[in-house]
């Protein structure tokens, strides 16, 4: 066994993927904090903070933005290590290489898009794209973490096809909730800088559309869990579903609280954190509907997996 394969044991590799996932979630939260403190243009250039200075001046908003940039740089470390590990780990698992590559590419594009966001003075379409790309990175990282914790092989569902279809619809609605939430944010008061433009939509109307999407998502979740319970779902699936409902209800409570209190910045930050919790819990629920049979064929005979949320 080579030195590299001894370093990247399956247990160590999974720990690295968890670190990468946590870092990706943290950078989304700190990025939101930058916007909510009005520090989005605290650094007016890229990669320097200003045209003639790399490090931010000792002022609050520039330092907040610059620290967020440093954290963004740190995210690349576990992401690159995970990508390398997926290639050199023995036995080689092609099902790990695909999501690991997606995370690396996504983080690289995100860095470029972050520079464009600054150059475009926090224009909402670019800010929204930056956020949704970060969500896509966490998606791939969660899939990577899940796959790293199970044996190699093609996953098969442990529930009926109807339940799998309902779960996929749930995940699609979870994405719709995130997308409509970004529109609400783009029309709201927290643009990241007082000079940043906002989306020319009424925030009340956009909030109602977002709320309707959330209600539809919750309703479909309840229907899915009812169907699973009626047809004897495994205990772990039922437990994951209950956890998801709790997270959705908590997130809904935060959303309504921020709406009726004038959208204070601290509640928006909690709401963004809650949005990521709902998204990742939904994804974890879906991935939990699949397992790898113990009698799976040898690795050399298995086709590679390409779908990011196949199981």
The residues, any chain, with a CB within 8 Å of residue 238's CB and separated by 6 or more, are: 225, 228, 229
Identify the pLDDT of residue 191: 66
CA–CA distance, 253 with 6 (Å, rounded to integer): 47
User: Per the confidence metrics, is the pTM higher than 0.75?
Assistant: yes
Token pair of 271 as six digits = 């709401």
Locate 17 and state its tokens.
């993927």
* Under 8 Å between Cβ of 41 and 193: yes
- Tell me the Cα Rg of the chain: 21
Inform me whether the pLDDT recorded for 132 exceeds 80: yes
* Mean pLDDT calculated for residue range 143-167: 92
The tokens 């799976």 sit on which residue?
A: 296
Coil vs helix vs strand at 102: helix
CA distance 39 to 33: 8
Distances (CA, A) of 24 to 112, 125, 188, 213, 224: 16, 21, 25, 25, 29
* Range 74-99 average pLDDT: 89
């Amino acid at each position: 066994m080579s030195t590299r394969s001894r370093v990247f044991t399956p247990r160590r590799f999974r720990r690295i993927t968890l670190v990468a996932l946590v870092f990706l979630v943290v950078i989304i939260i700190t990025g939101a904090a930058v916007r909510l403190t009005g520090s989005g243009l605290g650094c007016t250039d890229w990669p320097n903070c200003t045209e003639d200075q790399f490090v931010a001046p000792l002022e609050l908003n520039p330092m907040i933005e610059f620290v967020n940039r440093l954290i963004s740089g740190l995210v690349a470390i576990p992401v690159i290590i995970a990508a390398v590990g997926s290639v050199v780990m023995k036995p080689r698992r092609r099902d790990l290489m695909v999501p690991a590559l997606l995370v690396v590419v996504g983080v690289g594009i995100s860095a470029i898009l972050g520079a464009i966001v600054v150059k475009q003075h926090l224009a909402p379409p670019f800010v929204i794209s930056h956020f949704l790309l970060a969500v896509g990175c966490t998606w791939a990282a969660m899939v990577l973490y899940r796959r790293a914790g199970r044996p190699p092989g093609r996953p098969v569902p442990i529930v009926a096809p109807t339940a799998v279809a309902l779960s996929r619809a749930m995940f699609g609605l979870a994405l719709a909730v995130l997308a409509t939430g970004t529109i609400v944010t783009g029309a709201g008061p927290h643009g990241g800088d007082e000079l940043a433009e906002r989306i020319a939509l009424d925030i009340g109307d956009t909030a109602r559309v977002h709320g309707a999407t959330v209600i539809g998502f919750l309703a479909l979740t309840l229907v899915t869990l009812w169907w699973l319970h009626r047809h004897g779902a495994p205990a772990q699936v039922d437990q994951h579903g209950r956890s998801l409902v709790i997270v959705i209800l908590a997130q809904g409570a935060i959303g309504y609280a921020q709406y009726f209190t004038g959208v204070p910045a601290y509640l928006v930050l909690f709401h963004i954190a809650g949005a990521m919790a709902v998204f990742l819990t939904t994804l974890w629920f879906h991935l939990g509907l699949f397992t790898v049979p113990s009698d799976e064929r040898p690795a050399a005979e298995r086709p590679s997996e390409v779908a990011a949320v196949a199981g």
